[in-house]
Amino acid sequence: MDQLTSKEVQSALEGWLGSSAIVDVSREVPNGRITGWIMHPSFAGVPAADRQSWLWNGYGDQGTLPRWDGLRGKSKGQSTQIGLILTYSKLEYENALDETA
Amino acid sequence: MEIGAAEFRQASKEHLDGAIHCHQNGDYLTCHYLCGLAVECILRACRWKIDSSWDGRHALLKLYKEARFDALVKERDSSEMADKFYSITSRWSNTHRFASRAKLVSYLNEIRATHNVRAINSRLIARKCLVRQSSL
């Protein structure tokens, strides 16, 4: 199986979420999984399980985000090369990456 | 003081024990802080094995990557790990040690982390009642 690149995942997620999102995914170890995080203001108030489901399984016409096939749909069998991708609202993201102390 | 992987690991265990003790005694906000500290320590233990230089930043997300922690997570545990790690990273920050109890609870309420958590809500409500009573 061809190796999925972090650039492919990055651009797929940016394509789905648009310019108001922050996407940061990378592969830290040559044969390791691609991991990272995404932030989108529309995630505010949405349970984490729902966000993960949208990310992996897809998103229909139900709301403020564009349609999306999900990482499983986009990457098919290669999705096993993707590990933890966390989903944050703006406020959560600012908290998670707060390095002021 | 030199701190290596074993020390970080031990500190993680001790902070977790401290967190459990605080939880049992109803001190949920100190418990909250110690939980994050315990996670930071275990990530630092893993990171130290790759890079023993000191990094003063406390962002758990970045430490997770630098520690290559994902390599330790089995594929079948990925979704549970995503859920747990999302919880701690969205709720905890090293800067919380400078926040007043009210400020921290306000933040946790805002991100709905206290939804269905009676202990924090009821204490907050009790405090609001006390403030209201004293202003009468």
What HEC string does A59-92 produce? ECCCCCCCCECHHHHHHHHHHHHEEEEEEECHHH
- Token pair, residue A8, equals 């492919």
pLDDT of residue A99: 67
Asked whether residue A101 is domain-assigned, the answer is no
Q: Identify the bridge partners of residue A38 per DSSP, sorted by sequence position.
A: A23, A87
Closest Cβ opposite residue A101 in set B58, B62, B112: B58
* Distance of alpha carbon A48 from alpha carbon A88, whole angstroms: 8
* CATH at A85: 3.30.300
Asked whether residue A99 is domain-assigned, the answer is no
Give the pLDDT mean for B94-123: 81
Closest Cβ opposite residue B65 in set A35, A87, A92: A35
**Which residue out of B58, B90, B107 would a mutagenesis test of the A interface target, given it has the greatest number of A Cβ atoms within 10 Å?**
B90
Q: pLDDT digits over A28-64, tens only?
A: 888 889 999 999 999 999 998 999 999 999 998 877 8
Least Cα distance to B112 among A92, A41, A64 occurs for: A92
Q: Report the number of distinct structural domains present in chain A.
A: 1
Q: Do A99 and B89 touch (CB under 8 A)?
A: no
Asked whether residue A14 is domain-assigned, the answer is yes
Q: pLDDT digits over A62-88, tens only?
A: 778 999 999 999 888 888 899 999 999
Identify all chain B residues contacting A80, using CB atoms and an 8 Å cutoff: 75
Q: Which pLDDT band, with edges at 50, 70 and 90, does B136 fall under?
A: very low
CA distances from B131 to A100, B118, B136 (A): 32, 20, 9
Domain range for A89 is 6-94
pLDDT of residue A63: 78
What 3-state DSSP class applies to A1?
coil
Is the complex ipTM higher than 0.85? Answer: no
* Distance of alpha carbon A4 from alpha carbon A83, whole angstroms: 12
Asked whether residue A100 is domain-assigned, the answer is no
Give the pLDDT mean for B95-110: 90
Q: Do A83 and B70 touch (CB under 8 A)?
A: yes
